[in-house]
Amino acid sequence: MTTLTLGKAINAGLRKAMEDDPKVLVMGEDVGKLGGVFRVTDGLQKDFGEERVIDTPLAESGIVGTAIGLALRGYRPVCEIQFDGFVFPAADQIITQLAKMRMRSLGAVSLPVVIRIPCGGGIGAVEHHSESPEAYFTHTAGLRVVSCSNPVDAYSMIQQSIASTDPVIFFEPKRRYWDKADIDTESTDWTPLHAAKIVQPGEHVTVLAYGPSVKTCLEAAAAAGEEGRSIEVIDLRSLNPLDINTIVTSVNRTGRCVVVHEAPVFSGFGAELAARITERCFYRLEAPVLRVGGFSTPYPPSRVEDQYLPDLDRILDAVDRTFAW
């Protein structure tokens, strides 16, 4: 067992994938000599060379466009978008090209491209550095969208994403980069990439979360447990495709559900979850599915971001409201 932070776990997963397949490339702004803003790619260029760990110009559309060309030639590029808010210049390439190539070619052409995106707030960053853009990509057919929440999953999920024949949007919770866990780097007995995990069993309420919100929900579950309420926390891990069966099984048993994410609630991914749960669990629900998330404003200045992000109190308030119906 090796103790690694989430950031180092992704680094180790990238390293293993590059060792196993010479067609795997890493590319992005400052990923080489600097090792990335968060040092996630630290040491990779030194060990694999500048032809496989490529410092690109500051042009996200060019990064993804180049990756698409490389994938067409048989490579498996892993692109780093330096911060979540910088992905939008690449949206045209992602949505109109990367996501559609398999359908456009009637299945003859696949684009095994991974786009790593540090996401979410909580680090006191400036504007454009704390976004949660997952709903844009879950709405785009042809993309797989996943989000790790801990070092163990980060290590396995990055390797599984690279091995996928479909393009994968890989969200990394930047405020969890320094969380640590013990990882068996020799084992390949991994949870399937698109399977959800019950990370805290419970009986009274199902709480759904992903990425940076999972740890907050676990803290809320611990606090609720002291008051006699048993919260089941599910880490979705994959947003598209969605492991709906795990969700439905849990909600049918608890009868209550709260969805938590950092993105604004209005038209956020939680809306899709609430709709699907209502369709599948209508006769077992004791209360409406409630959502806890960001507000319908641009992400605020860092001095007030704690008032914007879902916290323990807001999650517990939603749990309490599910018992008021």
Question: By C-alpha distance, which of 255, 254, 272 is closest to 263?
Answer: 272
129, 194, 204, 261: the active-site residue: 129
Joined together, the tokens standing for residue 202 give: 């419970």
Joined together, the tokens standing for residue 38 give: 């968060």
CA separation for the pair 230, 273 (Å, rounded)? 21
Beta bridge partners of residue 290, listed in sequence order? 258
Joined together, the tokens standing for residue 222 give: 């611990």
User: Any catalytic annotation for residue 129?
Assistant: yes
Q: Where are the beta strands (DSSP E) in the chain?
A: 2-5, 24-28, 53-55, 76-80, 114-119, 144-147, 168-173, 180-183, 197-200, 205-209, 231-235, 238-240, 257-264, 290-294
CA separation for the pair 302, 196 (Å, rounded)? 31
DSSP state of 301: P
Q: Which residues are catalytic?
A: 129
